Amino acid sequence: MSRSEIPVVEVSGAPRERGRQYGEAARDLIATAIGYYSAALGAQTGLGWGAISRSVRTWLPISEELAPHLVEEMRGIAEGAGVGFDEILALNLRGEFVHNHRAQRAGQPKAADAATIDEDDRGSVDGCTSFFLTGAASGTGDTLVGQNWDWRTLTAETTMAIRVVQDPLPTVVMQVEAGQVGRHGANSSGIALNANGLGGTFDSTIGLPQTLIRRLVLDSADIASALKVLVKTRPHIASNALLAHRSGFGIDLETTPHGVDWVYPDESGMIAHTNHYQAAVPPQLAGRYRPASSDSLLRLPRVSAGLRRVASATSAAESREAVRAAMSDHLGFPEGVCTHPVEGADPLKQWSTLLSSCVNLSTGQYHVAAGYPCETPYTELPWNLYDGPGSPS
C-alpha cells in the first residue's frame, strides 16, 4: 500500500466466521506482519519465530476465560489467512511477549521493566499521542477523539481499518495491525477508545493482553460497561486508555497490573495524553521511574498548545484541519508529535507515525490520515459509526 492509503475490510457473522473473513481479506498483510515480527522480535530476543509463537500460549487460558469470542475470532483469522493460530496469537501479544522476555533475561522483578530503560524499550511501547475535545474545545460543540499512532516504521505496511458487524454486540470500526482483534477505534454505541503505551509489568502474575482489553471496551454497549472493563480487568502490561462517549463524556485512565489512576477533561473540555504517567506514578516505580519514550515529555505540552487552537474553528472541516495541524507538530524532529524515522537507524527498529485519526463521535464520521499527518490529509473511512446494528436511536 502507499503511505496515503489504508486497506479497509468489513466482516460479519459469528466469531469464527468473521475471523475467517478477516484472515482471507488480509492474507497478504498478515503474511507481511508475520515476516516483520519474525525478524524484529528474533533480532531483539535471539529466538526463532516458532519459539516466540509457542511461548505466547502462556496467555491463552486467561484469554479463553475472559474473552472466548475473541480467541475464536483469532482462530478464524488463522484459518482464513492460512497460518498457525499461535502466529495470530503472537501478533496480538507482541507487547506482552517482549516485556516478559526482558524481565526473564534480566532475572529481575518485572517492575523493573518500567524503571530500567535500555535501547529496546521504546521499541516495545506503542508511542502515541491521543486527544479528546468536546464542547467549546472542539470549536463546533462536537466531540472529537483520535491520536497519532507511533510504532515501528515497517509495520505501516500492515496497518488496516476494519469494520466488525457482530450483532447483538455493537458494530466496531478499528485501526489495527493486520491479524489483531483490537487496538484503537469506536463503536455504534458512540464509544471510542484511544490508547498509549506506558510500558512495564509489575510482577509475574499473568494479566489479560492489551489487544483483548481494548476490543472488550469497544464491544461494550454502554459507557458504564466500557469503563468497568478498564477499571476491573487486570492487564498484563501498563497502558493508557482514553475513553470517550458521544454525549461528551471523556476520561483518561492509566491502567497498570496493580491499579488505575485517571484524569478528567480540563475546564475547556480537552484531554491530551502521551506515553508517560500524568495522573500519578505507580508506587512500585516511585523515585525510579523513567519514561520509555523521553520525547513524551515534549509531545504533551506541544500537542496541548496546538489542540487549544481548535476552539476557534467554526465548522467541522476547520476543526479537523486544526487537529491535523496540532498532530503535525515537528519540534524535536525527527521525533515529536509527528514522528519521522531516524536516518541511518536499523530498519527493524525505525520508529515513526503510522497514521493519525480524528473521529467525530457526534456525527459518526471516522477520518484517517495514513502515514504522516504533516503530509497526508484526513480522509473519511467508508463507514459511519451509526450505520448498522447497535446504533443509538
- CATH code at 87? 3.60.60.10
In a domain, 387, yes or no: no
Identity of residue 310: V
**Cα separation, 269 vs 143, whole angstroms:** 9
Instruction: Return the pLDDT at 110.
Output: 45
In a domain, 393, yes or no: no
Question: Is the omega angle on the peptide bond into residue 235 within 30 degrees of 0, that is, cis?
Answer: no
Query: Is the pLDDT reported for residue 51 higher than 70?
Result: yes
Report the predicted TM-score, pTM, of the whole model to 2 decimal places: 0.94
**Cα separation, 375 vs 370, whole angstroms:** 9
Instruction: Return the pLDDT at 101.
Output: 75
The grid coordinates of residue 265 equal 477533561
Find where cell 535500555 sits.
Answer: 118
Instruction: Return the pLDDT at 111.
Output: 43
Minimum mean pLDDT range among 12-21, 282-291, 331-340, 362-371: 282-291
The grid coordinates of residue 11 equal 466482516
Residues whose CB falls within 8 Å of the CB of residue 156, separated by 6 or more in sequence, listed in order = 3, 352, 354, 355, 370, 371
Question: Is the omega angle on the peptide bond into residue 282 within 30 degrees of 0, that is, cis?
Answer: no
Eight-class DSSP state of 235: B
Pairing of strands 8-12, 159-165: parallel
Instruction: Return the pLDDT at 120.
Output: 47
In a domain, 317, yes or no: yes
Query: Is the pLDDT reported for residue 127 higher than 50?
Result: yes
Domain count, the chain: 1
Instruction: Return the pLDDT at 216.
Output: 98
**Residue 389 pLDDT grade (very low, low, confident, very high; cuts 50, 70, 90):** confident
In a domain, 388, yes or no: no
Most confident of 44-53, 73-82, 199-208, 276-285: 73-82
In a domain, 389, yes or no: no
Mean pLDDT of 290-304: 95
Residues whose CB falls within 8 Å of the CB of residue 118, separated by 6 or more in sequence, listed in order = 102
Mean pLDDT of 278-286: 92
Residues whose CB falls within 8 Å of the CB of residue 22, separated by 6 or more in sequence, listed in order = 9, 11, 73, 76, 77, 80, 162
In a domain, 333, yes or no: yes
Query: Is the pLDDT reported for residue 156 higher than 70?
Result: yes
pLDDT tens, 222-239? Answer: 999 999 999 999 999 999
Range of the domain at 46: 8-380
**Residue 391 pLDDT grade (very low, low, confident, very high; cuts 50, 70, 90):** confident
Instruction: Return the pLDDT at 248.
Output: 98
In a domain, 179, yes or no: yes
The grid coordinates of residue 298 equal 515534549
* pLDDT-above-70 percentage for the chain: 92
Pairing of strands 351-360, 141-152: antiparallel
Instruction: Return the pLDDT at 358.
Output: 98
In a domain, 392, yes or no: no
Q: What is the mean pLDDT of the chain?
A: 92
Minimum mean pLDDT range among 90-104, 159-173, 322-336: 90-104
Residues whose CB falls within 8 Å of the CB of residue 335, separated by 6 or more in sequence, listed in order = 295, 298, 342, 351
Mean pLDDT of 179-194: 98
